[in-house]
């Protein structure tokens, strides 16, 4: 209590209100709004600094245009050696001036079934995206985890361009909601993601999906959850709500502007982030419970048997600086025996897939090339072994 700040008291009030009988469930969103406000205030200095530079630096417009024009070349170069060269001989999508969010209704036409329950909680729902006509063979599956600083886990509007693209490629996609802080303390977030994977392994064939091949992708906090899920298959510490024998392994991981370390406090930005985790998400002090933060860090969970990874990040990200993605990729390449791809988009900022039409199409195309290649490789190797 002696160290509590105004934000801590506000969070306590919103969590307490959510526990009230009868009306508590209607007040639960207040906790997320309060926590998101705290997150926004803590990142305000970076936003303000980036905005000032953008407004007053001479030649900024030309620099941004030059960076946007490098998107296709950067994506193609990043996939060389990861995807066969012949598969990269394509026409990359033309950049669009309008934000991808403006095409939300158009993208939603790919939704086959909405609000499917994957667990007992009302928050554990998912949308099924798929093409109107599925191939004769079961389709590969992509599970998408939305972002939101671990205090907002809604599938609405997030990942639409990617899900539309992958469904058009013949994939069955699952976009999930999950429980978030401050009303639900870590590790409930990852427990829900694991529950969604286990549900897909057991039920996705009802929608034409192949239960034997499931990839996972996520943005921002969802990128963290996707990476951690891929690196901790069947870990009982993150599967409290699942029965023994539930399969939570994945065959490939795509992290999009994700946060991959919960331990590092070496800079002002990272120290501020850990403080946010302590007060809002984990609700424990890292000095007293370092093992909780370490176990939640994908960086610390990398191992030789990690699944194939594709990491995508922008150099203009002021929320999660690109250095974090570079360090994570370096760690993966040093330890993992699987393929690791890294697409670094010049000038792209946080949440570019919702706001930046110049880069979103290229990102979705790169992910499709990577996942289709991993799927073909994974499904043909067992066939050769049988022959």
* 160 and 69 share one domain: yes
Total structural domains in the chain? 2
Residue 3 located in a structural domain: no
**Residue 110 or 6, more confident:** 110
Give the pLDDT of residue 240: 86
Q: Is the pLDDT score of 260 beyond 70?
A: yes
Sequence-ordered strand ranges (E) for the chain: 111-117, 125-129, 139-145, 172-176, 209-219, 252-256, 309-314, 340-345
Nearest to 192 by CA among 139, 244, 248, 128: 248
pTM: 0.88
* 165 and 225 share one domain: yes
Residue tagged 């998400």 (tokens)? 281
Give the pLDDT of residue 21: 54
* 99 and 20 share one domain: no
Span 195-210, pLDDT tens digits:
999 999 999 999 999 9
* 47 and 81 share one domain: no
Active site residues: 220, 317, 350
Span 84-102, pLDDT tens digits:
999 999 999 999 988 898 9
* 104 and 78 share one domain: yes
Please state, in angstroms and rounded to a whole number, the distance separating the CA atoms of residues 53 and 49.
6
* 208 and 157 share one domain: yes
* 46 and 101 share one domain: no
* 330 and 357 share one domain: yes
Nearest to 167 by CA among 134, 202, 125: 134
Residue 132 located in a structural domain: yes
* 173 and 28 share one domain: no
**Residue 47 or 136, more confident:** 136
- pLDDT-based confidence at 136, cuts 50/70/90? confident
Could you list the residue range(s) of the whole structural domain that residue 345 is in? 60-380
* 105 and 144 share one domain: yes
Residue 352 located in a structural domain: yes
Residue 51 located in a structural domain: yes
Residue 120 located in a structural domain: yes
Please state, in angstroms and rounded to a whole number, the distance separating the CA atoms of residues 152 and 36.
8
Give the pLDDT of residue 139: 96
Residue 2 located in a structural domain: no
Q: Is the pLDDT score of 382 beyond 60?
A: no
Residue 386 located in a structural domain: no
Q: How many CA atoms lie within 13 A of 157 on its CB side?
A: 9
* 23 and 84 share one domain: no
Residue 387 located in a structural domain: no
- The enclosing domain of 194 has a CATH number of 3.40.50.1820
* 103 and 80 share one domain: yes
């Amino acid at each position: 209590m002696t160290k509590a700040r105004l934000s801590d008291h506000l969070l306590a009030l919103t969590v307490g209100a959510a526990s009230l009988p009868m009306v508590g469930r209607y007040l639960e969103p207040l906790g997320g709004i309060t926590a998101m406000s705290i997150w926004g205030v803590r990142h305000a200095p970076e936003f303000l600094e980036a905005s000032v530079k953008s407004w007053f630096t001479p030649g900024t417009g030309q620099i941004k245009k030059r960076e946007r024009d490098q998107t296709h070349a950067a994506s193609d170069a990043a996939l060389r050696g990861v995807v066969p060269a012949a598969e990269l001989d394509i026409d990359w999508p033309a950049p669009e001036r309008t934000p991808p969010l403006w095409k939300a209704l158009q993208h939603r036409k790919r939704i086959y079934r909405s609000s499917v329950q994957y667990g007992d909680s009302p928050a554990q729902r998912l949308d099924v995206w798929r093409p109107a006509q599925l191939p004769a063979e079961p389709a590969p599956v992509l599970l998408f985890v939305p972002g939101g600083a671990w205090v907002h886990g809604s599938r609405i509007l997030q990942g639409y361009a990617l899900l539309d693209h992958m469904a058009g490629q013949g994939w069955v996609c699952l976009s999930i909601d999950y429980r978030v802080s401050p009303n639900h303390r870590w590790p409930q977030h990852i427990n829900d993601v694991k529950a969604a994977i286990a549900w897909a392994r057991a039920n996705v064939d009802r929608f034409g999906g192949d239960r034997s091949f499931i990839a996972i992708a996520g943005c921002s906090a969802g990128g963290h959850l996707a990476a951690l899920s891929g690196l901790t298959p069947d870990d009982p510490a993150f599967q409290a709500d699942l029965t023994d024998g539930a399969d939570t392994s994945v065959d490939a991981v795509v992290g999009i502007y994700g946060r991959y370390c919960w331990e590092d406090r070496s800079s002002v930005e990272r120290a501020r982030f850990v403080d946010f985790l302590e007060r809002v998400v984990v609700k424990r002090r890292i000095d007293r419970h370092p093992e909780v933060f370490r176990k939640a860090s994908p960086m610390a969970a990398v191992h030789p048997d990690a699944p194939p990874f594709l990491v995508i990040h922008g150099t203009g990200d002021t929320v999660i600086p690109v250095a974090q993605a570079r360090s994570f990729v370096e760690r993966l390449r040093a330890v993992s025996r699987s393929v690791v791809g890294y697409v670094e988009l010049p000038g792209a900022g946080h949440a570019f897939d919702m706001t930046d039409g110049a880069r979103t199409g290229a990102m979705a195309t790169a992910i499709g090339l990577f996942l289709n290649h991993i799927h073909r490789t994974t499904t043909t190797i067992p066939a050769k072994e049988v022959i």
